[in-house]
Chains A and B, each alone.
Chain A
């Protein structure tokens, strides 16, 4: 009996010593979708001339860990790189973007943009977007289309490399729900509109 126990313990020790660690890095090419430190504070003005500041923090990096187990013994561990940038509109709305590494040897990352109550989540590979309808934080279901535009002009300024997101099915009853977003490489948010049609544009920095 004692020998049996010893064999089991030895087996478990052996298993735990074989924990495989997999590290998933964010694709560097996707980092262009964060605002540069010089573009972290900007002003969005609606079509009635009401304006507010958006203040973002610098880009932050973290590692998210996950483990797999066999008979309560850890057999594998994964470390996913998580890159984020968040801040607030001066009237209180939250704004954030994040990238989480998806797979090893894969250029795709999970991208999530949160603006107010809306979450726009997709798998992203450079200029190619695949909406995933992930719905974190129990926010509203957001079904949307995503396209890449070579450039887009806002307030007489042309931005190169723009993500265009358009709501297909979301919280239609909320007239302030963000329904269309233009988001530029290295700059971040440049234009968005709400369910009620109200449009916000980024003022060119001085």
Chain B
């Protein structure tokens, strides 16, 4: 009798488990391509080169840009935010820009994603800048409330308009050298990087 009862109980348990909500296939929500209207938030194209100059030594550093779009997938938890199991997956596109220096400095990346536009994440309509410390930048045409913007800024004899002064968040030890502010506008991209130790790098245009 036992030989029949135990497998039967085990099999019915398994059936019960697989019929539980969430035990089946998880829905994939396709968010499509990254919206074209926001592409111009980052003015760089793949292969572009821009120059930054160290303020005191006048050293010129070239940054080469690599930009591409990557298909991504991220778990979504819906309203059950503390649930260990995802309720769905979001399929989306990431627009990734990496500026790599020809000098032993640090890479700066800008990530834009339509995943950030969903309700399930808090980032909103912003691009994310990561160097030594990170900052956020509103997508072009979106709300800029709360950001410090200079109407015009003179750098190396050139005037740049509507320059964001983006405060960098650094989670390491504050005493470590890190980026304090990124100066950025939608036309040129980075026009300045101000370090926590007071060193400055400004856009250099021939």
Contacts and interface: CB of A to CB of B under 8 A. Distances in A.
Interface of A: 41, 43, 46, 48-53, 55, 90-93, 176, 194, 198
The 5 closest A-B pairs by CB, nearest first: A90-B177, A48-B57, A48-B59, A91-B106, A49-B57
Interface residues of B, number: 17
Contacts of B59: 48-50
Contacts of A51: 177, 197, 199
Given A91-B105, A92-B106, A53 B57 contact: no
Residue with the highest number of chain B CB atoms closer than 10 Å, among A49, A50, A51, A91: A50
Given A90-B176, A198-B104, 7 more contacts: A41-B175, A49-B199, A50-B54, A50-B57, A51-B197, A51-B199, A53-B177
B56 interface: yes
B contact face: mostly helix, strand, loop, or mixed: loop
A52 B57 contact: no
B67 interface: no
A91 B199 contact: no
Contacts, number: 44
Nearest to B173: A55
Interface string B40-72: 000000000000001011010000000000000
11 contacts: A43-B177, A43-B197, A46-B104, A48-B54, A49-B56, A49-B199, A50-B103, A51-B177, A90-B132, A90-B176, A91-B106
B138 to A, nearest CB: 27
B178 interface: yes
Contacts of B56: 49
A124 to B, nearest CB: 28
B190 to A, nearest CB: 16
Contacts of A194: 104
Interface string B106-122: 10000000000000000
A57 to B, nearest CB: 11
B114 to A, nearest CB: 29
A201 B182 CA distance: 27
A50 B105 contact: yes
A83 B8 CA distance: 58
Contact of A90 (B54, B57, B103, B178): B178
Contacts of A49: 54, 56-57, 59, 199
Nearest to B198: A51
Nearest to A92: B106
A50 B132 contact: no
Contacts of A91: 104-106, 132, 177
B199 A50 contact: yes
Contacts of B54: 48-50
A113 B45 CA distance: 40
A69 to B, nearest CB: 41
B34 to A, nearest CB: 28
